Structure 1
Amino acid sequence: MTSKTLLRFALGALIAFSGAIEAIAEDGPAKQLFGVQTLPTVGAPLSTGFYAKGCLAGGVALPEDGPTWQVMRLSRNRRWGHPHMIGLIEKLSRDAAAKDGWPGLLVGDISQPRGGPMITGHASHQVGLDADIWLTPMPKRRFTADEREKVEATSMLKGDTLFVDPKKWTPSRTALLRTAASYPEVERIFVHPGIKKQLCDTVQGDRSWLAKVRPYWGHYYHFHIRIKCQPGSPNCKSQEPTGSDDGCGKPLAWWFTDEPWRKAPPPAKPVKPKIMMVSDLPKQCARILQAPSPNSIAEVTYGMGTKVAAPAATAAPAAAFAPDDEQIPDDIAVPRQSP
């Protein structure tokens, strides 16, 4: 066999192998393939798809520690996000410490390095524009790595009720939520219905910011910040605006009926759960799975609002993430939708 023939054979094998990898990325279970990614792509930030059906390119990591924040549950590797999301968390931590009497943020899940569905946990947090913040204040000392895995957040509810325990809720928690809602890029803040009711019953003066605070299942020990699609992400799908109503009327009252908490009857026949494949996501997500990674986490970590640039030599071409016309659902699927 001549050297030219060997070269053709090698090139053919490489092309076939690349095709096989691409087929796996397009057709494999999305949560497994995105869940094993340890580093983001290199290049400009790009949120693709909807909060509950999409992926993220060019994400950056929130440092484990800052002057006014600590990241919890580090083993999950979910402290990644769009740079604007990471910058907003840092800003909120500083503003809340300076203005609201809140000593610092304990930050929960943001997103995976390349976004996408998670093996466990959230339906959303897929495009790097969502973040969970505990309603437990940061202590003066630094948690150990082991404590970050085991320390439990404090529920704001009174026993097994739907209502906030007045002994736990403080004005500083109200101020923290008000500050988070004050940022123009924040689209929604999800809290437990009991927390929303607490705010509706107690907030005086300007109540316009309450329109962004939305009741939702869970969220009794943390709140969930969601920001708008950011410039440079043309295929990011935003939600409808919340409007100006403070949300303290009929929609909130629905949460205190039996309907939201009624268990659905079991199906007559077992239903096999649908597995979301990569091919079910926007087309760019398969390419994002295969895109180059930076050399280390230090190259894509925010620190006090300053991004450390990744090496240009490994940057992915912008054309690799060109938008398509795929339509994404307008909202997160929930068991029953409130009025």
Structure 2
Amino acid sequence: MKRPLILTALVLALTACGGSDAPAPKKGSTAPLPTVGDSAGVLSSKEAKQLFGYKNTGSKQSPAPFGSYAKGCMAGGAELPETGPTWQAMRLSRNRNWAHPATVNFVQDLSRKAAQQPGWNGLYVGDLSQPRGGPMLSGHASHQIGLDADIWMLPAKNLTLSRQQREEISSISLRRANGAYTNDNWTRQHHEILKAAASDPRTARIFVFPGAKVQMCKDATGDRSWLRKIRPWYGHHYHFHVRLACPRGASGCIDQAPPPPGDGCADAQAWVNNILNPPPPKPRDPNAPPPRKKRAITLADLPRQCADVLAAQ
């Protein structure tokens, strides 16, 4: 089917989206239908977050990620059950406990390993993706193809939290000195859970604050190859972010370039050095034009399959 015909068919998808930045409708609700139709051209230029952010369920398609982690969508998304034997999905009102089935399986597997750690009964799972992936109404730039997962740093001791409690409870921060060091909340259990996540062959990389990576480099013994996947990044002290590689056979999925060779410990130390002794800011050319405001991603910016994902039942 040609793209213009697909976009025309997606008028129904647009009518389910509203058209404001209001929070996504609660699961099972229906957005009011507008009275004015839309053309294919208008639909293709619509902000993608408005189209994907108001889809409440996954598409009835074979599971497939399309595009890249920060510019794509997800067909056939699976929902991580809200509660399992060794996990609880948090912030259920966001309806972001959807992912590619490989990610759902990964989270469940990691939660069972976490439950073996003293003081942990499993994991509190933060944002995965929206039901059909794509850009989010708020928050992440990535998490678009169902292969990203945020795992809370808070030890999951109570796995009987109510929906309301999951909205009100907060994770804990593990950083000190703006992320140059870990604080007293850091434990060996955090180290072991991150190691288990990084050692999984499905994992492409894990983002965590620089001080945590430096601490793990100091404490790691024996095989250190898993450290390569632990990457320092801004924030990521209330949760760590797991990114899986594209599943085998997912031809429409674009992998991120692999991390550089080695354990990455020198790179993490350089991040810490810059936090402790930040380099002077570069002087700004007074004659330089002001930076351009980043343009919102539209449906036309995404892989062509994303129009089909939106139109599918």
TM-score range, shorter chain: 0.7 to 0.9
Could you tell me which residue of structure 2 aligns to residue 58 of structure 1? 76
What fraction of aligned residue pairs are identical, expressed as a percent? 46
Pick the aligned partner of 2:266 from 233, 241, 249.
249
Query: Aligned partners of 2:49, 2:241: CA distance in 1, in Å?
Result: 21
Q: Distance in 2 between matches of 1:78 and 1:218?
A: 20
| TM-score normalized with structure 2 length | 0.81
Q: In structure 1, what is the equivalent of residue 4 of structure 2? A: none
User: 1:134-283, aligned counterparts within 5 Å?
Assistant: 134-158=152-176, 160=178, 162-165=180-183, 167-250=184-267, 252-257=269-274, 269=290, 271-283=292-304
Q: Cα deviation per residue 1:296-330 (whole Å; 9 max; x = unaligned)? A: xxxxxxxxxxxxxxxxxxxxxxxxxxxxxxxxxxx
For residues 227-268 of structure 1, give each alpha carbon's deviation from its aligned partner in whole angstroms, at most 9, with x where no partner exists.
Answer: 111134201000122254110114541443155896996986
Partner Cα distance (1:15, 1:224) in 2: 36
Distance 1:23 1:100, change over 3 A: farther
SS of the equivalent of 2:172 reads: coil
Distance (whole Å) between structure 2 residues aligned to residue 254 and residue 16 of structure 1: 45
Residue 45, structure 1, aligned to residue 63, structure 2: yes
The residue that corresponds to 2:125 in the other structure is: 107
Partner of residue 289, structure 1 = 310
Shift of 1:205: 1.8
Cα distance, 1:136–1:20 mapped onto 2, change above 3 Å: same
DSSP-derived class of the 2:273 partner = coil
The aligned counterpart of 2:148 is 130
Task: Tell me the equivalent position of 1:4.
Answer: none
Distance 1:272 1:30 in 2: 17
Cα distance in 1, alignment partners of residues 10 and 96 from structure 2: 33
1:156-210 Cα distance to aligned partner (Å, 9 max, x none): 0126452101x21111111101111111111101101111111112212221110
CA deviation after TM superposition for structure 1 residue 96, in Å: 2.2
Structure 2 residue runs without a partner (length 5+): 1-7, 13-36
Match of 2:90 in 1: 72
Distance in 1 (CA, whole Å) between partners of 2:280 and 2:114 is 34
Separation in 2 of the partners of 1:262 and 1:104?
43
Taking the aligned partners of 1:218 and 1:124, their CA distance within structure 2 comes to 14
SS in 1 for 2:235: coil
Q: Which amino acid aligns with 1:84?
A: A
Q: Let me know the Cα RMSD of the aligned residues.
A: 2.7
Paired residues, what number? 278
The residue identity in structure 1 corresponding to 2:301 is D
Matches within 5 A, 1:316-335: none
Flag structure 1 segments of 5+ consecutive residues without an equivalent. 1-13, 293-339
Give the structure 2 partner of residue 88 of structure 1.
106
**Quick check: 15-24 or 45-54, which moved more?**
15-24
Given the superposition, is the C-alpha separation of residues 262 and 33 from structure 1 closer, same or farther in structure 2, using an over 3 Å criterion?
Answer: farther
Change (3 A) 1:287 1:53: same
Question: What's the counterpart of residue 296 of structure 1?
Answer: none
- Give the CA deviation at 1:16: 11
Using a 3 Å threshold, how does the CA distance of structure 1 residues 198 and 279 change in structure 2: closer, same or farther? same
Report if aligned partners of 1:25, 1:278 keep a CA contact under 8 Å in 2: yes
1:149 Cα deviation (Å)? 1.3
Which shows bigger deviation, 134-143 or 154-163?
154-163
Alpha carbons 2:90, 2:125 under 8 Å: kept: yes
**Match of 1:249, SS?**
helix
Letter in 2 for 1:281: L
Specify whether residues 255 and 26 from structure 1 end up closer, same or farther in structure 2 by C-alpha distance, changes over 3 A only. Answer: farther
Greater Rg by CA: 1
In structure 2, the residue matched to 1:300 is: none
Per-residue displacement from partner, 1:256-292 (whole Å, max 9, x unpaired)? 3155896996986474441211101111112211111
Once structures 1 and 2 are overlaid, which stretch shifts more, 24-33 or 195-204?
24-33
Aligned residue type for 1:103: N
Match of 2:20 in 1: none
Does the C-alpha gap of structure 1 residues 70 and 264 become closer, same or farther in structure 2, counting only changes over 3 Å?
A: farther
